Amino acid sequence: MRALIKLVFLLIAAGFGIGIYFKMYGDNLVGERIIGISVLASAFILMPLFLAHRWKGKRLKDYTLTKENMDRMNKKNKNNTSEDQDRKDSN
């Protein structure tokens, strides 16, 4: 998966480079089309591959805001603020 992501990235980067070359030294319209296709490929091919690779094996529940997670964060923040107040009072 990692090699595939690198290959797709290199192809897209080459597409950007070729598009810029065509835009500067060749047909402007062709250059803009190549750059546009590279942008679309990075958004709809590279990004999903990268996200699937990075999220593999992780639980989505840990990263979503559910009632449980909100309560846990509020409790943690409440404990941290009370500890901060205790330190200020002792100084």
Residue type (1 letter), 16: F
Q: Is the pLDDT of residue 48 over 70?
A: yes
Average pLDDT over every residue of 35-58: 93
Q: Are residues 51 and 85 in the same domain?
A: no
Average pLDDT, the chain: 87
The C-alpha atoms of residue 23 and residue 70 are separated, in whole angstroms, by: 51
Q: Are residues 27 and 65 in the same domain?
A: no
> Is the model's pTM score more than 0.75?
no
Q: Are residues 13 and 38 in the same domain?
A: yes
Total domains, the chain:
2
pLDDT of residue 59: 80
The range of the structural domain enclosing residue 32 comes to 1-58
Average pLDDT over every residue of 42-46: 96
Q: Are residues 67 and 36 in the same domain?
A: no
3-state SS record for 2-60: HHHHHHHHHHHHHHHHHHHHHHHHCCHHHHHHHHHHHHHHHHHHHHHHHHHHHHCCCCH
Average pLDDT over every residue of 10-17: 97
